[in-house]
Amino acid sequence: MAIGVALLMLVLVSLLILSAVQIAVGEQRSMASDIESQRLNGLAELSLARGFAHLRANANRVSSQQADGWMASGAERWSVCAATQLAPPCGDGSKNIADSRWTAYADVAEARYDSGSGRSKLHYLAPAVTPGSASPRQDVVQIIGEAVSADGRGHAVVRQDALIHPLIEQWPEATIVAGSVRLAGSGRILSGALSIWSSGDTRLEDASLSCAASELVASACGMTLSDASHENADILDVDGNQGANRDSAVAPGDIFERVFGVAAQLWPSLRDQMQSVDSCGSLGPDTRGAIWIAGDCIFSPGVVIGSITTPLVLVIENGRLIADGNAVSGLVMLFSHDGGNSSFVPSNGASIAGALLANAALEITAGSYRVWPDAAVASALQSGAAAPLLLTPVPGSWRDY
């Protein structure tokens, strides 16, 4: 009897031990599976983050449909989604989610990543310009991060939509817009709708003047509108010392927000989407896009900066613009976030085709220069065709399927 009870107890203990071992093994397997799932999701999220960074760096080429353009259609680039495609980006891995109304850029080569225990891929999916077209629309794109385990059994996909839009929210109303303006030297400001718009006073000194563009050459000064002795209606300001022009009761306000659609106090968010440079000496005729520099911007003497067809946006943070015979095409913003004055230091006929802005007081104390509005520059920068473009994630669009 005692032996039977002992054997029964031994069997029960063995079963308890076996059950505990099975539970422990199950928990270990579940934990390992959770860790593997988290690792794959992290890898997919990493690919998604790479996708945003990659698209920000290449957003300017979204509008290019040339054969060598990053967003151009063709072999190993954009292709129409077919109803039979189950894999990302046109599918979620098990079923198709995009038809011929969508076009895909699958597995961006420069964004591939292999951790040894898993691989990640980056894809883009965009509405087609027209159904069945491989060309993507230029205003929206879906970014897709995909991760696959080394043994091929684990899989994770995350997606998020992004809007692509031009950097320039609104083209400035005048050739020069600033908090207040003091122009000296031998300068020529050509008038569009307005030559100068200032929330303070505008002072033209020495041989500086505002003039109408010549009918023969857009960059040449025609009829004089305002000079050091007379201020006309081409200058809109709150006049403090001279002139019979109309005083403005409407100031430009936050010029930074008016032009870029971003409030001045949020300037880091804009800088983060622009190309930061340490020196303006590297800028030249092929420079395009959006450039940000902290401190003085000193161009190499005589070098052309940008062009009429590929203009640039240049933001100079707490520094001077120093140009020696340079011809600049684009929009230049002298941005002072500490309230200090901004200076343009020109010489040898330096020129800006586009617009010159300052969110505080603007001073040009000497030198020869021209600043004039250019319709082609304004059009290119506003349309996004040759302009800096911004990438904005769509809130609530993240999903893991």
Structure confidence by residue, pLDDT tens digits, 385-398: 555 677 888 888 98
pLDDT at site 135: 83
Average pLDDT, the chain: 84
pLDDT at site 250: 58
Core vs surface per residue 112-150: b (16+ CB within 10 A) or e: eeeeeebbbbbbbbbbbeeeebbbbbbeebbbbbbbbbe
pLDDT > 90 fraction of the chain, expressed in percent and rounded: 41
Q: Tell me the mean pLDDT in the region 237-244.
A: 63
- Burial status of residue 5 (CB atoms within 10 A of its CB: 0-12, 13-18, 19 or more): exposed
pLDDT at site 65: 41
Q: How confident is the model at residue 73 (pLDDT cuts 50, 70, 90)?
A: very low
Q: Tell me the mean pLDDT in the region 98-127.
A: 89
Cα–Cα distance, 317 to 271 (Å, whole number)? 10
Q: Tell me the mean pLDDT in the region 208-227.
A: 88
- Burial status of residue 181 (CB atoms within 10 A of its CB: 0-12, 13-18, 19 or more): buried
What DSSP character marks residue 169? S
Say if strands 209-213 and 186-191 run parallel, antiparallel, or are unpaired. Answer: parallel
Measured CA to CA in angstroms, residue 273 lies from 84, 166, 167, 193, 392 at distances of 37, 12, 9, 31, 10
Q: Does 33 score more than 80 pLDDT? A: no
What DSSP character marks residue 308? S
Cα–Cα distance, 112 to 53 (Å, whole number)? 13
pLDDT at site 287: 85
pLDDT at site 96: 92
Q: How confident is the model at residue 187 (pLDDT cuts 50, 70, 90)?
A: very high
- Burial status of residue 84 (CB atoms within 10 A of its CB: 0-12, 13-18, 19 or more): exposed
pLDDT at site 75: 44
pLDDT at site 23: 60
Q: How confident is the model at residue 19 (pLDDT cuts 50, 70, 90)?
A: low
Whether the CB-CB separation of 316 and 333 falls below 8 Å is answered with: yes
pLDDT at site 118: 84
Among 158-167, 178-187, 322-331, the minimum mean pLDDT is found in: 158-167
Cα–Cα distance, 26 to 285 (Å, whole number)? 65
Structure confidence by residue, pLDDT tens digits, 41-53: 888 999 999 898 8
pLDDT at site 108: 87
Q: Tell me the mean pLDDT in the region 292-309.
A: 94
Residue 343 tokens read as 């200076």
pLDDT at site 62: 46
pLDDT at site 66: 40
Structure confidence by residue, pLDDT tens digits, 79-91: 899 989 999 999 9
Q: Tell me the mean pLDDT in the region 116-140.
A: 88
Structure confidence by residue, pLDDT tens digits, 130-154: 998 888 887 889 999 999 988 888 8
Q: Does 71 score more than 70 pLDDT? A: no
Q: Where are the alpha helices (DSSP H) in 157-306?
A: 255-260, 267-271
- Among residues 233, 226, 222, the alpha carbon closest in space to that of 183 is found at 226
Cα–Cα distance, 102 to 394 (Å, whole number)? 18
pLDDT at site 152: 82
Whether the CB-CB separation of 168 and 387 falls below 8 Å is answered with: yes
